[in-house]
Structure 1
């Protein structure tokens, strides 16, 4: 979580969070209260604060996580290495296919990051990426996550308990940040025009290299269906009903839940 008095950014991993946090730090005209990467919000929320979350197409996220792990980087790579399955990170499409099977299998949740995913008991009902979004979406989210007993219950409980006001989609991150800057309830330094000019001029920070950018890396034909079956929170609530990607043509994004 990256919190200011007027806004709290719920920084889901691999969703553009480094860029968004730096943009807020540079241009939001407010004091920074706390910055703890990928950590849940407080148990008691300050009144009147805007809550912003960033999300990403789930297949795109898995491809990014796999590519990152093939460089020996990331918390997920670390936990899978500790579990003795780092051989899956061989940089090939076949390796990704096998890796995806392991990551999507509820029986392997104990190998994944964060560890609270495996401990929560939610793995039979939701994939890792939807869990990562849900656990940052409101105070004490793990309480309701532990109570769910089906995929339908998981989505319904998220809708009941989340505190998200604004959603930033990785695929249209600049446009969504422009909309955020345009809100009347936020102030920007040295002014709104400067923040908008920076968005127009800057490339996103921390853009990781992707293995599937190589023409020889063929993503399995059934990969999207396998991912979508596990990541229903992202497909049903956040508009990812079909594969979208930040590295190819992207459809128009929603701006809020």
Structure 2
């Protein structure tokens, strides 16, 4: 999370957060506070900037990063369990000082039954579309919702929506602990209503239109850009960070996997008008 007096940028995983943060650091006086942090209530009155990406492409990127043995999704799914993670990290990711004994037990039991060998198998080759599709089915299987950790399995969202939608609502709303208990989240048809009531973002940059959207966002935040600063943003188009070794998204999908993402990420697809890969 990049924090300045005039703007806060919330980093949603694998949506060009490092690049956007670098641009903002060049233009504004601020500081990097953690990485994928939730905005604390006392800062939610500032201009909040987020970023998003085509869900079909996002899943390929997340998997490709895992194939390079990187990222929290990879580390959580490919290990059996970690006591240190339960006591030091999971509670923080859910915005709590402690979880209930029942919650700790639920996560422990799920991790005991986690198919670690299968998870490791699907990260074996970033050029293999069959492995991607197998990984995607695991990632979006409601029965495997606790495998990724980070509280996803405890949220009502996990019954009908994917990890991207979960992270979107976690970072871009003021739901806090309500993310794990709000009855409206059990019904996918109510997500637009929840978003309208609880969103904190003033602007969300689309990864596919990053430079133009970022300039528009800064304009909306009443931040005047010099010609040099605009040029710096525009020149960053070909500078990528935290990339993964994988091909374009069209290479990996078939009709079944396209439909799976369409169903699980319907909220984001509808909100931003994203189109599926070409077959």
Q: TM-score if structure 2 supplies the norm length?
A: 0.77
Structure 2 equivalent of residue 251 of structure 1? none
Match of 1:45 among 30, 43, 46: 43
5+ unaligned residues in a row in structure 2: which ranges?
A: 81-115
Question: Which stretches of structure 1, 4 residues or longer, exceed 6 Å deviation after superposition?
Answer: none
Structure 2 equivalent of residue 146 of structure 1? 181
Question: 1:123-138 to 2 correspondence within 5 Å?
Answer: 123-138=158-173
**Residues 43 and 140 in structure 1, CA contact (< 8 A), matched pair in contact too:** no
For these two proteins, the number of residue pairs brought into alignment is 236
Tell me the distance in 1 between the aligned counterparts of 2:21 and 2:135.
30
SS in 2 for 1:3: strand
| CA spacing shift, 1:193–1:184, aligned 2, 3 Å | farther
SS in 1 for 2:204: strand
Tell me the distance in 1 between the aligned counterparts of 2:57 and 2:36.
19
Question: 1:185-200 to 2 correspondence within 5 Å?
Answer: 185-188=222-225, 192-200=226-234
Structure 1 equivalent of residue 54 of structure 2? 57
Shift of 1:151: 0.8
Q: TM-score if structure 1 supplies the norm length?
A: 0.83
**Residues 47 and 221 in structure 2, CA contact (< 8 A), matched pair in contact too:** no
**Residues 134 and 141 in structure 1, CA contact (< 8 A), matched pair in contact too:** no
RMSD of aligned alpha carbons = 2.3
SS in 1 for 2:173: coil
Structure 2 equivalent of residue 102 of structure 1? 138
Tell me the distance in 2 between the aligned counterparts of 1:10 and 1:146.
23
SS in 2 for 1:167: strand
1:160 corresponds to 2:160: no
Tell me the distance in 2 between the aligned counterparts of 1:198 and 1:212.
27
Shift of 1:161: 0.5
**Residues 8 and 51 in structure 1, CA contact (< 8 A), matched pair in contact too:** yes
5+ unaligned residues in a row in structure 1: which ranges?
A: 246-257
Shift of 1:24: 0.6
Structure 1 equivalent of residue 90 of structure 2? none
| CA spacing shift, 1:184–1:143, aligned 2, 3 Å | closer
Shift of 1:193: 1.3
Question: 1:156-235 to 2 correspondence within 5 Å?
Answer: 156-183=193-220, 185-188=222-225, 192-202=226-236, 203-206=238-241, 208-213=243-248, 217-235=251-269
Structure 1 equivalent of residue 154 of structure 2? 119
Tell me the distance in 1 between the aligned counterparts of 2:277 and 2:204.
16
Tell me the distance in 2 between the aligned counterparts of 1:93 and 1:210.
13
CA displacement, residues 186-220 of structure 1 (integer Å, 9 cap, x when unaligned): 245xxx212111123232330514423499x5422
| CA spacing shift, 1:7–1:151, aligned 2, 3 Å | same
CA displacement, residues 32-86 of structure 1 (integer Å, 9 cap, x when unaligned): 3x51211111123354x21111000111000011111111111100011014121
Tell me the distance in 2 between the aligned counterparts of 1:166 and 1:214.
26
SS in 2 for 1:185: coil
Shift of 1:139: 2.6
